[in-house]
Amino acid sequence: MKLPVLDIQEVTQRQLCTGCGVCASVEPGRFAMDDAPSFGRRPRVLDDANPESGEALRACPGASLTHTFDESDQELIADLRSAWGPVYEVWEGHATADDIRYAGSSGGAATALALFAIEQEGMGGVLHTAAREDARHLNQTVYSTTREELHDRTGSRYAPASPADRLDLITSAGKPSVFIGKPCDVAGVQQARRQNAALDAKLGLTIAFFCAGVPSTEGNLALLRKIGVDDPAALASLRYRGNGWPGLWTAEWTDADGDPRTAEMTYAESWGFLQQYRQWRCYICPDHSGEFADIAVGDPWYRPVEPGEPGKSLIIARTKRGRDLLRRAAEAGYVTLETKDPSLLPRSQANLLSTRGRLFGQQIVMRAMGAKVPAFRGFPTLPHWIRHLSLSMKVRSLTSTITRVRRRRLTKRIDQFG
């Protein structure tokens, strides 16, 4: 397969990196993940690094994404294929346990399914993301094996994370494991497993959560400064969502006088600020809804959320493995499945139809201006460009892409650690 870039360093320097960390797992003798504050988590070449083998590039979701599922499968929902990838079932539901449901960002379904996999399916643990103990505004990759660990690590993390950088924790585990991450994280893991039989054998379940993009560390620090936290080391806790639906952005810290302080923002306020700091690759992402996962979860935004309403989850079974496990989890009482309706997906995420369409025009502009473009296969864009974008939306898409290519210097290679 011909790739649009030569190596992982070019993926990073051309701002195509998603920050997933899969390269650090596939070629651990060459790459390690580090924080580039203005961009996100990025692979840094180690001192005395091994030569690049090409395996990391083949797994890299920033360089290429290719759908490989059987499109002739009659059990797939045909009407959703073009815009949403493989879908077997669409449910609205939630974690049955009240504490997990309350703590989760949108109904706690991902946590409940992971817990079911550990307690009832014989899986060893869950590789996912949590806040760093020593720097609450940053993230770390963790391997959770108990209910308590999963519960304590619930909630969204709108900051750079690289959960695929520790796939060795899955391959070295005595039992199969669950992987939870952003759509690009899961896509990278799925591409890596095709090259690694040991990883393939140990991946028991993949769960993706819907994603609108990853804000940089710089964006998170700017939001903290806005509420008066100039030193992130003073943070005791930083939570983006959860503890209610959708929950509040909540920072707890100690001020200069040694007094405890707390500040809160609504989800709309905090995300409205942070989304301005999203990395470039998120603007040209073809998969915001976890098309490569066994199960994908998101918010059922098809209706307004009433004040004080318990959390609800949009749950998408994308593989037969995921569908069957979801059914078993419901039968065992770990998740409550309330409404089965394929239309819930496009009704909840209608904006993603135009997002898929804009990608058609974005790619044309990037190629014309000399910017690098990932190789996307199996993601129809032209039909959605025609159907879901008005003339004015098409024009804005083209002109805004021209502006961003110039402002972000996408035609040049940039040392993101410089």
Q: What is the mean pLDDT of the chain?
A: 96
Q: What share of the chain has pLDDT > 90, as a percent?
A: 96
- Compute φ and ψ for 321, nearest 5 degrees: -60, -45
Q: Is-contact 358 349, C-beta < 8 A?
A: no
pLDDT tens-digit map of 241-295? 999 999 999 999 999 999 999 999 999 999 999 999 999 999 999 999 999 999 9
**For residues 365 and 363, what is the distance between their CA atoms, to the nearest angstrom?**
5
Confidence at residue 21, expressed as pLDDT on a 0 to 100 scale? 98
Mean pLDDT of 364-389: 96
Q: What share of the chain has pLDDT > 70, as a percent?
A: 99
First-residue to last-residue Cα distance in the chain: 32
**For residues 56 and 61, what is the distance between their CA atoms, to the nearest angstrom?**
10
Q: Is-contact 186 205, C-beta < 8 A?
A: no
Strand partners, 208: 181, 296
Give the Å distances, CA to CA, from 44 to 10, 19, 163, 166, 392: 12, 11, 16, 15, 41
Confidence at residue 125, expressed as pLDDT on a 0 to 100 scale? 98
Tell me which DSSP letter residue 310 carries. Answer: P
268 token code pair = 């709309």
pLDDT tens-digit map of 125-182? 999 999 999 999 999 999 999 999 999 999 899 999 999 999 999 999 999 999 999 9
Q: How confident is the model at residue 4 (pLDDT cuts 50, 70, 90)?
A: confident
Nearest residue to 162 (alpha-carbon basis) of 179, 145, 144: 179
Q: Which helix (H) or strand (E) holds 396?
A: helix 391-407
Q: How confident is the model at residue 195 (pLDDT cuts 50, 70, 90)?
A: very high
Confidence at residue 114, expressed as pLDDT on a 0 to 100 scale? 98
Confidence at residue 396, expressed as pLDDT on a 0 to 100 scale? 96
Confidence at residue 6, expressed as pLDDT on a 0 to 100 scale? 86
Instruction: Mention every residue, 6+ apart, whose C-beta is less than 8 A from residue 74.
Output: none
pLDDT at 307 over 90: no
Domain locations along the chain: 18-349, 350-409
Tell me which DSSP letter residue 49 carries. Answer: P
Confidence at residue 308, expressed as pLDDT on a 0 to 100 scale? 87
Q: Is-contact 311 222, C-beta < 8 A?
A: no
Handedness of CA 41, 46, 47, 52 (dihedral sign): negative
Confidence at residue 177, expressed as pLDDT on a 0 to 100 scale? 98
pLDDT at 2 over 60: no
Mean pLDDT of 5-20: 95
235 token code pair = 């943070």
Give the Å distances, CA to CA, from 170 to 123, 131, 143, 148, 176: 11, 20, 9, 20, 7
Mean pLDDT of 26-34: 97
pLDDT at 1 over 50: no
Which amino acid makes up residue 103? A
Mean pLDDT of 348-353: 94
pLDDT at 376 over 80: yes
Tell whether omega for the bond before 4 is within 30 degrees of 0, i.e. cis. Answer: no
Tell me which DSSP letter residue 309 carries. Answer: P
Q: Beginning with the edge strand found earlier in the chain, give each strand of the sheet holding 235-239 in spatial order.
A: 235-239, 249-254, 260-265
pLDDT at 374 over 50: yes
Confidence at residue 418, expressed as pLDDT on a 0 to 100 scale? 78
